[in-house]
Structure 1
């Protein structure tokens, strides 16, 4: 079962973080790219600029923001990315610079990762060949050869 948590990018990494994925559309202020402990930056999963501006972190708009954002995520590319994250590890930590993580796009993504979306015919097993057998990270090479996380050589059986 997949465990998803949301943390601020400014918080110290924890031993139980698993795969650490930045999900903001822009790089967080005040953090050098080399200093952020993260495995991936999935900026394409961030809400559109128009939606982000409309929401403005106004809690009273969160329910509508959630609905609109889920609509934005209803694309084949977003579904594939979410399915890949579900298939690659048992723990995913979504990282965001947002102060109120409970009322953020990262919280909506966490909900989608944990509860899924209606089945559109995709199968997370399709990504299995790209998962490192040692650490569980997804290897983006095609075909995968060496895990960037732990250095394990990956052979195709």
Structure 2
């Protein structure tokens, strides 16, 4: 039996793997229609706060500090336990795709979220 995984997928990529599709951005991706996004859910409350998102501004120099601040926000986020429960339920059936809009595939909130959840999901 194969274990299902959390996969990170840029919502604008043409190749989209199969799985339960969760948009983890607080803002809707620019130029993306709801039909084309084909989401199972949009968990905007799990994304970084507007203040943190604006401060980070996808600056690679700030990524380590962004990661630390976002993890603190996740620790304090009352929506986290329901989010984790839902991700676990979906992983029992299929892969879960964390969709994001950022251009940088290595330094974004979806990367932080996946890493943060690693110990909490297993």
TM-score calculated relative to the size of structure 2: 0.84
Quote the residue 1:36 is aligned against: 37
- RCO comparison, higher one (Cα < 8 Å, 6+): 2
Q: Distance in 2 between matches of 1:2 and 1:80?
A: 19
Are 1:21 and 2:19 counterparts? no
Contact 2:46 2:79 in 1 (8 A): no
Partner of 1:79, secondary structure, is helix
CA contact (8 A) 2:22 2:42 kept: yes
1:98 aligns to what? 102
How much has 1:106 moved relative to structure 2? 0.5
CA contact (8 A) 2:8 2:110 kept: yes
The alignment partner of 2:31 has SS state of coil
**Matched residues, number:** 117
Q: CA RMSD in A?
A: 2.0
Deviations 1:2-32 (A, max 9, x none): 4111111111353x43111111111111111
| Stretches (4+) displaced over 6 A | none
**Residues of 1 paired with 2:38 and 2:14: CA distance?**
9
CA drift of 1:88 comes to 2.0
Return the alpha-carbon distance in structure 2 between the equivalents of residues 68 and 103 of structure 1: 14
Extract unaligned runs of 5+ from structure 1. 118-123, 125-157
Distance 1:35 1:27 in 2: 12
Contact 1:2 1:114 in 2 (8 A): no
User: For the residues of structure 2 that align with 1:77 and 1:46, how far apart are their CA atoms?
Assistant: 10
Hey, what does 1:81 align to over in structure 2?
Answer: 83
